[in-house]
Amino acid sequence: MDLTVLYKLTYGMYVLGAFKDGRPVGCIVNTCFQVTSENPLLTVSLNKNNYTLDAIKEFKRFSLSIVAEDTDTGIIGKFGFSSSRDNDKYHDFGYEVLGRTPCVKGSFAGRLILEAEQFIDCDTHVLVVARLKDTVRGTGTPMTYSYYHSTVKGKAPKNAPTYRKEETKVADTTAKTLNRYECDICGYVAEVDGELPDDYECPLCCADKSHFFRIE
């Protein structure tokens, strides 16, 4: 079976925010879809190991901020490649409370306030069916998952339903050889002529040079 056909499915990028034990937590999700038009229901997919899922089960209310092409990529890196269990993901960006949910500050295409009504077990993931409670208009063009991969050069976190292992590619011996360094936090690959500069910072998750290792 050719699983690469699944790559043709389209996805967006969303920052999910919720409160747990009085503090804001959150994560990046890429699987969200509208189920009904009247009194709208939406569904998002979350890995069972996701700390934010525990928050939604407890409090029910959560927000979805629709990532735009001009959204700070540091937000994607912070919310997508670390756990709220032991990180304050909002520290560098701040947040505002909308509809009793935390929304990370920044430029977004829009925001949705939802309240969970059903949790459907799907092997490694849980589908959260939620009722739309409020919306906030934003600006910019919504970022697609394709744009994230092709332009931002980002990878899917291992908890994402779309995660897949990278295939080993055969090097083009006719092209100029650049050194490749991969970020051990978000997987971003930097290609440079020589060594990474000492003040290099990952454009996706803002990690410093110490988090990069050379790959072939």
pLDDT 10s digits, 81-90: 888 998 899 9
Structural domains of the chain, ranges and CATH numbers in brackets: 10-150 (2.30.110.10), 179-215 (2.20.28.10)
Average model confidence (pLDDT) for the chain? 86
- 27-31, 45-49, 178-182: least confident range: 178-182
| Structure confidence at residue 143 (pLDDT) | 94
- The pTM of this model reads 0.77
Whether the CB-CB separation of 55 and 25 falls below 8 Å is answered with: yes
Per cent of the chain over pLDDT 70 is 89
Residue 13 clears pLDDT 70, i.e. is over it: yes
Q: What number is the average pLDDT over the span 26-55?
A: 94
